[in-house]
């Protein structure tokens, strides 16, 4: 099984972080917090949608509000597969970064 890309990882983490309030607008904001970069909505949506298609995320519709011009909110939530993928990538990170501090000292 393949690993998540960095972008996918960031998005899944954002969704995880936001708990039950995860939809496109706050996800974008969260990623801005993580990375300091303001991506466009489209740039976030495309991988988000792909993650949903791959089954890492599932979505449900919320209530429409007037601020949103009467359009509903599409909330995202991690599936079991998504959580597993995150866990896998965390383990991978740990494994890769394990000796980082030592290397720095040796320099």
Residues in the site for another protein, rule: CB under 8 A?
23-25, 40-43, 45-46, 49-50, 61, 64, 66-69, 71-74
In the bound state with another protein, the residue whose beta carbon lies nearer, of 15 and 89, is 15
Least Å distance, CB 91 to another protein, is 30
In the bound state with another protein, the residue whose beta carbon lies nearer, of 59 and 88, is 59
* Of 42, 56, 54, the residue nearest 14 (C-alpha): 56
3-state secondary structure of 89: helix
Least Å distance, CB 25 to another protein, is 5
CB count within 10 Å of CB 58 equals 14
Least Å distance, CB 83 to another protein, is 23
In the bound state with another protein, the residue whose beta carbon lies nearer, of 66 and 103, is 66
Least Å distance, CB 107 to another protein, is 40
Structural tokens at position 65:
């509000």
């Amino acid at each position: 099984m393949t690993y998540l890309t960095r972008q996918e990882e960031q998005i899944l983490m954002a969704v995880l972080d936001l708990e039950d309030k995860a939809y496109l607008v706050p996800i974008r904001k969260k990623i801005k917090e993580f990375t300091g970069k303001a991506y466009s909505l489209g740039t976030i949506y495309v991988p988000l949608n792909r993650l949903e298609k791959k089954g890492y995320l599932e979505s449900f519709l919320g209530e429409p509000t007037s601020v949103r011009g009467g359009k509903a909110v599409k909330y995202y939530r991690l599936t079991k597969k998504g959580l597993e993928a995150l866990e896998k990538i965390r383990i991978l990170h740990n494994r890769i970064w394990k000796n980082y501090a030592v290397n720095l000292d040796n320099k």
